[in-house]
C-alpha cells in the first residue's frame, strides 16, 4: 500500500496537486493549518503553513515549500523561478520576519522542503550543508521526501487504523485495475460507501471520511492519468462529490470549524471533479466538429456501442457545462467571463456532436432521456442554440416514428446490454408492448416541442403515440419526501411519477397543455423544493446525481425554462397581432 502511495506522490505536480492534499494530510495528523496555497498573493516561498507537534512534542511551526518530483541541480539552485534554494531564502529573509502570524513567532520553526520524489545524490551534500549553515536556535530545516510523505499519509488519512482492511482491499484493487474502468469503479464505489457508512452522523468522523475519499480519489486520478485512461477517475469523482455532499447537507445551519472544514473538502472534491471532467471532455471536443468523428472514435462496429457511448459523453459534457453556468452565475465579473466562455465552448461541442453524428438523432433506450435532458438544459442556457435544439427535437420525433413503423432500433425500456444488442428481437405486438411499456423520453420531448411551439414534430409524436404505441404510459419522475436521504448516495428506489400524460395538440392547446399539466402537478410537489441542493442553490448536484446514479431528471429542472420561453412567444405573438 505504501508503495502505491509513494508512486502516486512522485507523479503529482506541484501546483494544484501536491499542495491540495498536504493540508488535509496535516489536518488529519492533528496540525492546525493556518495558511493554504493561494493564487494572486505573495507567498514568500511558503506553500503551506501549519502548527503541530514537533519532534520534542512542543508546538512547532512548519513552513512547507512544495516541489514536484526529484530535487536535482536544476531544481535546487537553477534559473527556474521554482528553484528550491531561493524559496528557502525568501522564507528566512521575508516570510518569517513579516508574514508569520504574531501568535506563533515565539515557537520553534521548521522549514520543510516537500518532494514527491527524492533528493538526488548530486545535490545531497549541498542541501545538507545549506541546512546546517542556516539553522538557528529557533529555525531548523527538514526534507520530507516521497517516502516520508507516504508514511505520513499512511499514518493519517489512509492509515490502517482509519480505513478497515476490507476497504483497503477495495482501494488497492481500484488502483490496480484503472485499465478496467468498470471494475475499478465498482471497487472504489465500495470504498466510498464503506467510508460514508462508517462515519455515521458524527461531524468529525464525516470530515475524516471526506478527506479519505478525496485523497483516495487523487491517488486513483494520478494513476489513471499515467495510464492514459480517465474513465474510472471520472466516475469515481462523481461519487466522491455526491457522498461528500450527502454528509455536508446534514449541517447546513451549523458553522463550526469542523463543518467549515467539511465544506472546504466538498469544494475541493468538486474542483477535482471539474479537472477530471474537463480532461475527459477534451478528447470528446477533439472529434465533435468532424462528420462521424465521434462515432468513428468509439472504435466499434456495433451501433449499440456507438449510441451508448455518444449519449453518455454528451451527458458528461453537458453536466460540466451546467456546472460552469452555475459557477458563472456566482462569480465576480472577471471570473464570470471565463466560466461563460467555458460553458459556451461546451455548448458548441454538444450541438456540433449532435449535428455530425446521426447516432445522436435518436436514443436507443429510455435511460438516455437523462443525457438528453442534460443536453437540452445546457443548450437552453444559450438563446443562440435554439435552432440546434429545434432541429434535434424534430429529428428525434421524425426518426422515432419511422423506426417504430419499420421495426428498427426504436427507443425501448430495456437496459441490459444483451437485450439492446437484440433489439428489436422480433416484430410482434407483444414484443412492441413490452419494449415500449412506458416512456419518460416522450413527455420530455413533447414538453420541449410544446414550449418551443414546434407544431409539425409535435404532431408526428402525437400520431406515434396515438396510432402505433397507445399502450405506452407517458410519465415523469419527481422526488418524494424520502428522496433527500436517497438520491445522492445512489439509492434509486425513491421518488414518485406523474403519469397519464399525453402529447398535446398545439391547435387545441386550450383543451390540453402538457406544460400546464406539469405545472399543476409539480406545484404541490414540495419535496423538490425541500431538497438540500435546491434550498442552497446548488442545483447541479441534483443533475450530477441524475447522471451518475441514473435517476431521471425531474421536470422542475427544465419546466421553468420552457414556460418562460412559451410565455415570451405568446407575448410576441400578441404584440405582433
> In this predicted structure, what is the pLDDT of residue 571?
47
Please tell me whether residues 167 and 146 are part of one structural domain.
no
Whether 5 and 158 have beta carbons less than 8 Å apart is answered as yes
> In this predicted structure, what is the pLDDT of residue 13?
72
Please tell me whether residues 474 and 518 are part of one structural domain.
yes
Q: Residue 114 is placed in which grid cell?
A: 516537500
> In this predicted structure, what is the pLDDT of residue 573?
42
Q: Residue 501 is placed in which grid cell?
A: 400524460
Burial of 168 (0-12, 13-18, 19+ CB in 10 A): middle
Taken in order 169, 219, 217, 65, the sign of the CA dihedral is positive
Please tell me whether residues 375 and 437 are part of one structural domain.
yes
Residue 295, in any domain of the structure: no
Greatest C-alpha distance within the chain: 90
CB atoms within 10 A of CB 96: 21
What's the CA angle centered on 478, arms 475 and 483, to 5 degrees?
140
Q: How many independent structural domains does the chain possess? A: 3
B/e letters for 531-541, b = 16+ CB within 10 Å, e = fewer, are bbbbeeebbbb
Place of cell 432521456: 369
Please tell me whether residues 116 and 170 are part of one structural domain.
no
Q: Residue 537 is placed in which grid cell?
A: 442553490
Please tell me whether residues 247 and 196 are part of one structural domain.
yes
Whether 323 and 274 have beta carbons less than 8 Å apart is answered as yes
Last residue within a domain, chosen from 288, 309, 328:
288
Please tell me whether residues 386 and 444 are part of one structural domain.
yes
Please tell me whether residues 195 and 268 are part of one structural domain.
yes
Whether 534 and 542 have beta carbons less than 8 Å apart is answered as yes
> In this predicted structure, what is the pLDDT of residue 559?
96
> In this predicted structure, what is the pLDDT of residue 575?
45
Residue 11, in any domain of the structure: yes
Please tell me whether residues 483 and 509 are part of one structural domain.
yes
Burial of 13 (0-12, 13-18, 19+ CB in 10 A): middle
Residue 542, in any domain of the structure: yes
Residue 180, in any domain of the structure: yes
Please tell me whether residues 370 and 513 are part of one structural domain.
yes
Give the residue numbers spanning the domain of 496. Answer: 301-576
Q: Provide block-wise average pLDDT over 10 residues at a time, the chain (577 residues).
A: 75 75 86 80 85 91 91 85 88 94 95 92 95 96 91 72 70 92 96 94 93 91 93 98 97 92 94 97 94 95 97 98 97 92 97 97 98 98 94 98 97 97 96 98 98 96 97 97 94 92 94 96 91 97 97 96 69 43
Please tell me whether residues 374 and 260 are part of one structural domain.
no
Residue 214, in any domain of the structure: yes
3-state class (DSSP) for residue 320: helix
- Residue 554 gets the label, from left (phi > 0), alpha (psi -120 to 50) or beta, of beta
Please tell me whether residues 111 and 210 are part of one structural domain.
no
Please tell me whether residues 338 and 485 are part of one structural domain.
yes
Residue 492, in any domain of the structure: yes
Instruction: End-to-end CA distance of the chain: give it in Å, rounded.
Output: 74
Residue 294, in any domain of the structure: no
Residue 293, in any domain of the structure: no
CATH of the domain at 14: 3.40.91.30
Amino acid at each position: 500500500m505504501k508503495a502505491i502511495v509513494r508512486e502516486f506522490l512522485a507523479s503529482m505536480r506541484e501546483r494544484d496537486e501536491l499542495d491540495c492534499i498536504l493540508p488535509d494530510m496535516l489536518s488529519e495528523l492533528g496540525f492546525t493549518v493556518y495558511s493554504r496555497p493561494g493564487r494572486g498573493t505573495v507567498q514568500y516561498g511558503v506553500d503551506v503553513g501549519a502548527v503541530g507537534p514537533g519532534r520534542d512534542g512542543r508546538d512547532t511551526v512548519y513552513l512547507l515549500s512544495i516541489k514536484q518530483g526529484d530535487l536535482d541541480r536544476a531544481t535546487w539552485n537553477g534559473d527556474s523561478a521554482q528553484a528550491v534554494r531561493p524559496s528557502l531564502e525568501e522564507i528566512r529573509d521575508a516570510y518569517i520576519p513579516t508574514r508569520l502570524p504574531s501568535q506563533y513567532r515565539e515557537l520553534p520553526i521548521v522549514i520543510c522542503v516537500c518532494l514527491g520524489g527524492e533528493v538526488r545524490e548530486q545535490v545531497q551534500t549541498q542541501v545538507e550543508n545549506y541546512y546546517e549553515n542556516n539553522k538557528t536556535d529557533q529555525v531548523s530545516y527538514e526534507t520530507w521526501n516521497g517516502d516520508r510523505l507516504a508514511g505520513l499519509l499512511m499514518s493519517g488519512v489512509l492509515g490502517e487504523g482509519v480505513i478497515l482492511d476490507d476497504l483497503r482491499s477495495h482501494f488497492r484493487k481500484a488502483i490496480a485495475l484503472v485499465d478496467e474502468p468498470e471494475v475499478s469503479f465498482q471497487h472504489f464505489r465500495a470504498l466510498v460507501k464503506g467510508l460514508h457508512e462508517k462515519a455515521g452522523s458524527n461531524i468529525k468522523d464525516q470530515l475524516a471520511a471526506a478527506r479519505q475519499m478525496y485523497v483516495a480519489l487523487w491517488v486513483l486520478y494520478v494513476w489513471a492519468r499515467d495510464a492514459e485512461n480517465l474513465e474510472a477517475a471520472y466516475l469515481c469523482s462523481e461519487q466522491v462529490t455526491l457522498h461528500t455532499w450527502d454528509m455536508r447537507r446534514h449541517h447546513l445551519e451549523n458553522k463550526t470549524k469542523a463543518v467549515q472544514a467539511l465544506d472546504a473538502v466538498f469544494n475541493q472534491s468538486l474542483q477535482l471533479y471539474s479537472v477530471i471532467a474537463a480532461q475527459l471532455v477534451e478528447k470528446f471536443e477533439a472529434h465533435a466538429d468532424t462528420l462521424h468523428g465521434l462515432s468513428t472514435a468509439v472504435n466499434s462496429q456495433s451501433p449499440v456501442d456507438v449510441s451508448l457511448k455518444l449519449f453518455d459523453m454528451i451527458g458528461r459534457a453537458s453536466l460540466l457545462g451546467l456546472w460552469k453556468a452555475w459557477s458563472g452565475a456566482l462569480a465576480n465579473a472577471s471570473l464570470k467571463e471565463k466560466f461563460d466562455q467555458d460553458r459556451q465552448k461546451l455548448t458548441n461541442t454538444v450541438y456540433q456532436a449532435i449535428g455530425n453524428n446521426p447516432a445522436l438523432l435518436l436514443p436507443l433506450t429510455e435511460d438516455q432521456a437523462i443525457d438528453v435532458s442534460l443536453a437540452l438544459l445546457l443548450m437552453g442556457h444559450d438563446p443562440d442554440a435554439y435552432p440546434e435544439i429545434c432541429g434535434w427535437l424534430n429529428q428525434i420525433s421524425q426518426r422515432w416514428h419511422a423506426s417504430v413503423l419499420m421495426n428498427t432500433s426504436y427507443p425501448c425500456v430495456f437496459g441490459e446490454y444483451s437485450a439492446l444488442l437484440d433489439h428489436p428481437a422480433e416484430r410482434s405486438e407483444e414484443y412492441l408492448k413490452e419494449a415500449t411499456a412506458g416512456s419518460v423520453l416522450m413527455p420530455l420531448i413533447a414538453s420541449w416541442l410544446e414550449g418551443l411551439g414546434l407544431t409539425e414534430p409535435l404532431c408526428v409524436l402525437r400520431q406515434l403515440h396515438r396510432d402505433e404505441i397507445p399502450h405506452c404510459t407517458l410519465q415523469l419522475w419527481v422526488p418524494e419526501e424520502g428522496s433527500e436521504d436517497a438520491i445522492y448516495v445512489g439509492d434509486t428506489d425513491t421518488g414518485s411519477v406523474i403519469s397519464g400524460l399525453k402529447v398535446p395538440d398545439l391547435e387545441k392547446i386550450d383543451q390540453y397543455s402538457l406544460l400546464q399539466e406539469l405545472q399543476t402537478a409539480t406545484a404541490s410537489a414540495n419535496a423538490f423544493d425541500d431538497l438540500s441542493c435546491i434550498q442552497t442553490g446548488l442545483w447541479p448536484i441534483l443533475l450530477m446525481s441524475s447522471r451518475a446514479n441514473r435517476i431521471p431528471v425531474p421536470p422542475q429542472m427544465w419546466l421553468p425554462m420552457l414556460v418562460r420561453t412559451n410565455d415570451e412567444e405568446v407575448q410576441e405573438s400578441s404584440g405582433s397581432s
